[in-house]
């Protein structure tokens, strides 16, 4: 049981966006996808989340290729949070979260409990009755995350592993909520979910992810443990920016600090 | 207790009220028209039509009620419901509360085909008209609307699926073309044809017979029954297409079905009643402003309010300048235009469009 991308290549027009990507996400692990702009992070995300179907290679979920799954069955075990939301109608935050229960037939009362718990889990319980359109960008992002959490809140009936895929989940959030959301994601991975997140902040990734996948020019440049991936040379060659990597004063985890703006070094 | 629970009860109550209001207005409308018929007589002959002999009714009154007013009232409810439900569904599909069934080309195509039939009916299209008479106009309008929608949908479909944005652009382009075509036929028309097509374009339910009710009603009922079954999928679609897909909704199938059903219903409505504007826009809007955007309630409420709205508009149309009739399309546009302007100002104040 895992989420496996096998030999993925993606071409749009004459442009090769992904080249020979091999990636496995096991239940219980938190994988962060990193890389400079245009490296193919979002393309890979769209392949993993079935938004693109015209790629070469194969993605399989819990042992079966995507093409062998019914879309409704995939929705029972996989929650996806895209980057921006187009919702332009005055649902309340609670109603938005309740939409996450659409693939399930657990009954109205149970669904409502789950929606409220999911809202509380992203620190948005107080927003339940607010119109989604009146929320700030960060609040919208948290409500959308609550919707995705509500979708995969319960163990599946068949016991299949669940997955949570997040595209830049922290982009609109303040510092406290960035950590809150990633703590939530890591807690879910400890409960046995496979979590994949596209992140930009190397230090956030280092703090929360079990494994880092570095993309560059549509290829996986390196993947592995935080310590093995985050080296100054690698970051310099990928992002073209001068950095130092030092141990965190308390946890000893790698900490990436830029030296690009420091004069006279 | 969340507000949403109170809201649900309020919504259920509103739906019941709407149904009740419709059930009361329909028989009441039998008493309204150029000829004076008392409410008692109207109810009695309505009862007679349904097989309950309540009282002796003069023959001419029961004929007017059964053969003229009742089919007309039923048709106005059906047409209003068709336009409003399609409007609500298309707005959900386009994720734009200002969308209209006309956007997918159905009205323009229907109008072009109808005008072509009016102008060329006794020359180039004589064989068609002779074959289809007296339904040539209805069939032409329906096919025109339906085929144009299929064309718009076809243009907007590629390997990525049906793009709603492309569809919007294609719809605008097609509307320009059909508008030009209508202009050409109008230029070619003689005085008599000009009169016919002008009145057709202003909409009227005056031609209602039980035959037109049966023909259009079958297609409209299909849409009114089947579109609300897509309510949950349409709710998910409001989040965005990829979000809906991740919730297990077969997005392309829902799009195809909703567009097809809307084109059927609006095509049939335009075919029997001509161009009736703004119902598909303002009715779903009113419902959304009071009951919220949840399609499970929005669709049935829009159907009932649309029917009620057009039933009342038709009563105005046949009494305002009786014994003549004011085209119903003018009435809905006179009400709808200012309403739309108010809506734009209101929306611009609250959150930019």
User: Could you report the per-residue pLDDT of A222-233, keeping only the tens digit for each?
Assistant: 899 888 888 888
- Position A235 in a domain: no
Name the region of A156 (left: φ>0; alpha: ψ -120 to 50; beta: rest). beta
Domain membership of residue A103 as a residue range: 3-225
- Find chain B residues with C-beta within 8 A of A89's C-beta: 95, 97, 238, 288, 293
- Position A23 in a domain: yes
Instruction: Enumerate chain A positions whose Cβ falls within 8 A of a Cβ in B.
Output: 49-51, 54, 71-76, 78-80, 82, 85-92, 94-96, 99-100, 102-103, 112, 116, 128-129, 133, 147, 151
How far does A155 lie from chain B, in Å, by closest CA? 16
* B88-138 pLDDT tens trace: 998 888 887 777 777 778 888 888 988 888 888 777 666 666 666 667 777
pLDDT, position B353: 38
CATH at residue A97: 3.40.50.300
CB contact under 8 A, A87 and B239: yes
* B104 CB burial (10 A radius; 0-12, 13-18, 19+): buried
Query: A254, A248 in Cβ contact below 8 A?
Result: yes
SS3 of B277, please? coil
SS3 of A122, please? coil
How far does B247 lie from chain A, in Å, by closest CA? 5
- Position A257 in a domain: no
Tell how far CA A48 is from the center of its chain.
11
If one counts the domains in chain B, the total is 1
Residue pairs spanning A and B at CB distance below 8 A:
84
Domain membership of residue B88 as a residue range: 70-350
Compare all CA atoms of chain A with the CA of B351 and give the residue at the minimum distance. A133
- Position B214 in a domain: yes
- Position B20 in a domain: no
Distance CA B274, CA B117 (A): 13
SS3 of A213, please? strand
DSSP state of A68: G
CB contact under 8 A, B294 and A95: yes
- Position A156 in a domain: yes
Q: Closest Cα partner for B191 from B119, B113, B112? A: B119
- Position A141 in a domain: yes
DSSP assignment of B98-154 equals T--GGGGTHHHHHHHHHHHHHHHTTTTTHHHHHHHTTSHHHHHHHHHHHHHHHHHHH
For the record, the structure tokens of B170 come out as 């294609």
How far does B332 lie from chain A, in Å, by closest CA? 25
Number of Cβ atoms within 10 Å of the Cβ of B297: 21
CB contact under 8 A, A99 and B96: no
- Position A161 in a domain: yes
ipTM of the complex: 0.88
Distance CA B310, CA B79 (A): 8
φ, ψ dihedrals at B199, nearest 5°: -70, -35
* A178-209 pLDDT tens trace: 999 999 999 999 999 999 999 988 999 999 99
Closest CB to A129 among B2, B246, B293: B2
* A107-141 pLDDT tens trace: 888 999 999 999 999 889 999 889 898 898 889 99
pLDDT at A259 over 70: yes
For the record, the structure tokens of A223 come out as 């993947």
Residue ranges, chain B, pLDDT below 50: 352-353
pLDDT, position A25: 92
Q: Closest Cα partner for B328 from B197, B201, B204? A: B204
CB contact under 8 A, B95 and A86: yes
For the record, the structure tokens of B185 come out as 């036929």
Distance CA B301, CA B194 (A): 38
For A148, what's the count of Cα atoms within 13 Å in the CB-facing half-sphere?
A: 31
CB contact under 8 A, A88 and B292: no
pLDDT, position B176: 92
* B256-271 pLDDT tens trace: 899 889 888 988 888 8
Q: What is the mean pLDDT of residues A15-43?
A: 90
* pTM of the predicted structure, to 2 decimals: 0.87
For the record, the structure tokens of B75 come out as 């048709």
Distance CA B317, CA B320 (A): 6
Give chain A's length: 265
Q: Is the peptide bond before B323 cis (omega within 30 degrees of 0)?
A: yes
CB contact under 8 A, B247 and A90: no
DSSP assignment of B207-266 equals T--HHHHHHHHHHHHHHHHHGGGGHHHHHHHHT-HHHHHHTT--HHHHHHHHHHHHHHHH
CB contact under 8 A, A88 and B95: yes
The residue ranking higher by pLDDT, B136 or A72, is A72
pLDDT, position B352: 42
Contacts of B320 (CB under 8 A, 6+ apart): B326, B331
Name the region of B320 (left: φ>0; alpha: ψ -120 to 50; beta: rest). alpha
φ, ψ dihedrals at B51, nearest 5°: 100, 5
Alpha helix positions (H), A16-136: 41-48, 71-77, 93-99, 108-121
Q: What is the mean pLDDT of residues A40-49?
A: 90
Q: pLDDT band at A263, cuts 50/70/90?
A: low
Query: A55, A47 in Cβ contact below 8 A?
Result: yes
CATH at residue B210: 1.10.3470.10
Instruction: Enumerate chain B positions whose Cβ falls within 8 A of a Cβ in A.
Output: 2-4, 95-97, 159, 232, 235-236, 238-240, 242-243, 245-250, 288, 292-294, 351
Distance CA B200, CA A199 (A): 60
How far does A175 lie from chain B, in Å, by closest CA? 26
For the record, the structure tokens of A203 come out as 């230090």
Contacts of A49 (CB under 8 A, 6+ apart): A78, A80, A82, A165, B242, B246
Distance CA B324, CA B315 (A): 13
DSSP state of A230: -
pLDDT, position A213: 93
For A118, what's the count of Cα atoms within 13 Å in the CB-facing half-sphere?
A: 28
Query: A209, A32 in Cβ contact below 8 A?
Result: yes
- Find chain A residues with C-beta within 8 A of B159's C-beta: 54
For the record, the structure tokens of A73 come out as 């069955």
Name the region of A21 (left: φ>0; alpha: ψ -120 to 50; beta: rest). beta
Distance CA B89, CA A123 (A): 34
For chain B, the maximum distance between any two Cα atoms, rounded to a whole number of angstroms, is 70
For the record, the structure tokens of B140 come out as 């032409």
- Find chain B residues with C-beta within 8 A of A90's C-beta: 288, 292-293
- Position B196 in a domain: yes
Distance CA A7, CA A18 (A): 10
- Position A169 in a domain: yes
Distance CA A191, CA B110 (A): 58
Buried b / exposed e across B105-122, counting CB within 10 Å, b at 16+?
Answer: bbbbbbbbbbbbbbbbbe
If one counts the domains in chain A, the total is 1
Distance CA B347, CA B353 (A): 6
């Amino acid at each position: 049981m895992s989420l496996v991308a096998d030999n993925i290549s993606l071409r749009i027009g004459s442009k090769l966006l992904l080249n020979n990507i091999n990636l496995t996400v096991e239940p219980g692990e938190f994988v962060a996808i990193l890389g400079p702009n245009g490296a193919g992070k979002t393309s890979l995300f769209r392949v993993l989340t079935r938004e693109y179907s015209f790629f070469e290679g194969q993605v399989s979920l819990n042992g079966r290729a995507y093409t062998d799954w019914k879309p409704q069955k995939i929705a029972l075990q996989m929650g996806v949070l895209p980057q921006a939301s187009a919702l332009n109608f005055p649902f309340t935050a609670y109603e938005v979260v309740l939409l996450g229960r659409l693939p399930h037939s657990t009954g109205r009362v149970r669904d409502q409990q789950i929606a409220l718990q999911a809202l509380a889990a992203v620190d948005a319980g107080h927003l339940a009755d607010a119109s989604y359109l009146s929320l700030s960008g960060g609040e919208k992002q948290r409500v959308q995350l609550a919707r995705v959490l509500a979708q995969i809140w319960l163990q599946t009936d068949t016991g299949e592993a669940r997955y949570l895929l997040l595209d830049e989940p922290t982009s609109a959030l303040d510092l406290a909520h960035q950590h809150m959301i990633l703590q939530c994601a890591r807690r879910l991975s400890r409960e046995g979910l496979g979590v994949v997140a596209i992140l930009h902040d190397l230090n956030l990734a280092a703090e929360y992810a079990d494994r880092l996948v570095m993309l560059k020019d549509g290829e996986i440049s390196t993947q592995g443990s935080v310590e093995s991936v985050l080296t100054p040379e690698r970051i310099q060659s990928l992002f073209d920016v001068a950095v130092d990597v030092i141990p965190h004063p308390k946890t000893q985890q790698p900490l990436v600090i830029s030296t690009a703006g420091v004069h006279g070094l | 207790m969340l507000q949403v629970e109170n809201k649900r009860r309020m919504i259920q109550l509103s739906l019941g009220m709407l149904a009740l209001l419709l059930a009361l207005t329909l028989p009441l409308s039998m008493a309204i028209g150029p000829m004076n018929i008392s409410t008692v007589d109207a109810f009695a002959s309505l009862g007679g039509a349904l097989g309950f002999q309540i009282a002796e009714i003069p023959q001419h009154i029961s004929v007017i009620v059964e053969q003229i007013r009742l089919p007309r009232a039923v048709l106005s409810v059906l047409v209003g419901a068709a336009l409003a439900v399609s409007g609500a569904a298309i707005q959900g599909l386009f994720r734009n509360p200002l969308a209209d069934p006309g956007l997918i080309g159905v009205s323009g195509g229907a109008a072009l085909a109808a005008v072509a039939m009016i102008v060329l009916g006794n020359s180039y299209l004589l064989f068609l008209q002779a074959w289809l008479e007296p339904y040539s106009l209805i069939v032409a309008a329906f096919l025109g609307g339906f085929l144009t929608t299929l064309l718009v949908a076809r243009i907007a479909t590629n390997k990525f699926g049906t793009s709603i944005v492309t569809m919007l652009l294609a719809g605008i382009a097609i509307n320009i073309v059909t508008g030009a075509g209508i202009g050409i036929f109008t230029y070619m028309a003689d005085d008599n044809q000009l009169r016919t097509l002008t009145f057709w374009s202003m909409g009227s339910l005056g031609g209602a017979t039980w035959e037109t009710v049966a023909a259009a009603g079958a297609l409209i009922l299909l849409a009114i029954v089947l579109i609300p079954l897509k309510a949950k999928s349409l709710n998910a679609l409001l989040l965005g297409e990829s979000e809906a897909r991740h919730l297990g909704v077969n997005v392309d199938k829902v799009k195809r079905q909703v567009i097809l059903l809307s084109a059927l219903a609006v095509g049939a409505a335009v075919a029997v009643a001509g161009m009736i504007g703004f119902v598909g826009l303002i009715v779903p809007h009113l419902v959304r402003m009071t009951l919220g955007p949840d399609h499970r309630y929005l669709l049935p409420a829009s159907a009932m309010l649309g029917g009620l709205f057009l039933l009342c508009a038709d009563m105005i149309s046949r009494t305002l300048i009786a014994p003549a009739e004011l085209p119903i399309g003018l009435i809905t546009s006179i009400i709808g235009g200012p309403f739309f302007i108010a809506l734009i100002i209101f929306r611009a104040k609250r959150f930019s469009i």
